[in-house]
Amino acid sequence: MASIRRTLSPAYHDRSYQNGAGFSSPSNKFLPNGSSKHFSSSSHLPFLFNAVNIVYRKGWRRSFCRCLFFFVIGFVFGIAPIGYSDTDVRAKDFTFPELKQPHANLRFDDQIVTSVSLSVNTKLLEPKESTDIIEPLKQLIVVTPTYNRGFQAYFLNRLGQVLRLVKPPLVWIVVEEKAASHETAEILRKTGVMYRHVLCAFNSSSVKDPRVHQRNAALEHIERHKLDGIVFFADDDNVYTLELFESLRTISRFGTWPVAMLARSKNKAILEGPVCNASQVIGWHTNDKSKRLRRFYADMSGFAFNSSILWDLKRWARPFSNPIRQLDTVKEGFQESTFIEQVVEDESQMEGIPHGCSRIMNWHLHLDTDNLFYPKGWLLEKNLEVILPIK
259-262/362-364 β-pairing: parallel
Q: What is the pLDDT of residue 49?
A: 58
- What's the sign of the alpha-carbon dihedral 351, 356, 362, 363? positive
Residue ranges for the binding site? 237
Name the band, by pLDDT with cuts 50, 70 and 90, for residue 65.
Answer: confident
**Residue 30: band (very low, low, confident or very high) from pLDDT cuts 50, 70, 90:** very low
The share of the chain scoring above pLDDT 90, in percent, equals 41
Whether residue 377 is predicted with pLDDT greater than 60 in this model: the reply is yes
Confidence of residue 311 (pLDDT cuts 50, 70, 90): very high
- Please tell me which residue, 147 or 68, carries the higher pLDDT value: 147
Average pLDDT value for residue range 55-81: 72
Question: Does residue 44 register a pLDDT over 50?
Answer: yes
87: burial class by Cβ within 10 Å (0-12, 13-18, 19+)? exposed
**pLDDT tens-digit series, residues 7-21:** 444 444 444 444 444
The confidence score (pLDDT) of residue 330 equals 87
pLDDT band at 368 (very low <50, low <70, confident <90, very high): low
How far is CA 336 from each of CA 240, 295, 331, rounded to the nearest angstrom? 19, 10, 11
- For the annotated binding site for Mn(2+), the residues are 237
- Residue 190: pLDDT above 60? yes
Per-residue three-class SS string for the chain: CCCCCCCCCHHHCCCCCCCCCCCCCCCCCCCCCCCCCCCCHHHHHHHHHHHHHHHHHHHHHHHHHHHHHHHHHHHHHHHCCCCCCCCCCCHHHHCCCCCCCCCCCEEECCEEECCCCCCCCCCCCCCCCHHHCCCCCCCEEEEEECCCCCCHHHHHHHHHHHHHCCCCCEEEEEEEECCCCHHHHHHHHHHCCCEEEEEECCCCCCCCCCHHHHHHHHHHHHHHHCCCCEEEECCCCCEECHHHHHHHCCCCCEEECCEEEECCCCCCEEEEEEEEECCEEEEEECCCHHHCCCCCCCCCCCEEEECHHHHCHHHHCCCCCCCCCCCCCCCCCCHHHHHHHHHCCCHHHCEECCHHHCCCCEEECCCCCCCCCCCHHHCCCCCCCCCCCCC
pLDDT at 116 over 60: no
Residue 111 pLDDT greater than 80, yes or no: no
C-alpha 189/C-alpha 191 separation (Å) is 6
**pLDDT for the residue numbered 70:** 78
Interval 55-73 mean pLDDT? 71
Kindly indicate the confidence band of residue 118, based on its pLDDT and cuts at 50, 70 and 90: very low
Residue 74 pLDDT greater than 70, yes or no: yes
Asked if the model's pLDDT at residue 249 lies above 50, the reply is yes
263-286 confidence digits (pLDDT tens): 777 778 888 999 999 999 999 998
pLDDT of residue 29: 44
pLDDT, the chain, mean: 77
> Which residues carry out catalysis?
336
Q: What is the mean pLDDT of residues 311-338?
A: 88
What is the C-alpha to C-alpha distance for residues 313 and 316, in angstroms, rounded to an integer?
6
Which whole number is the average pLDDT over 29-57?
A: 51
Q: Which domains does the chain have, with CATH numbers?
A: 140-365 (3.90.550.10)
Q: What is the pLDDT of residues 328-362, one digit of tens each?
A: 888 888 899 999 999 999 999 999 999 999 899 99
Arithmetic mean of pLDDT, 167-192: 93
Residues in contact with 223: Cβ distance below 8 Å, sequence separation at least 6, in sequence order: 310, 311, 323
| Beta-carbon contacts of residue 385 (< 8 Å; ≥ 6 apart) | none
Q: Which residue has the higher pLDDT, 374 or 339?
A: 339
Which pLDDT belongs to residue 39?
A: 42
Q: How confident is the model over 120-145, as a mean pLDDT?
A: 70
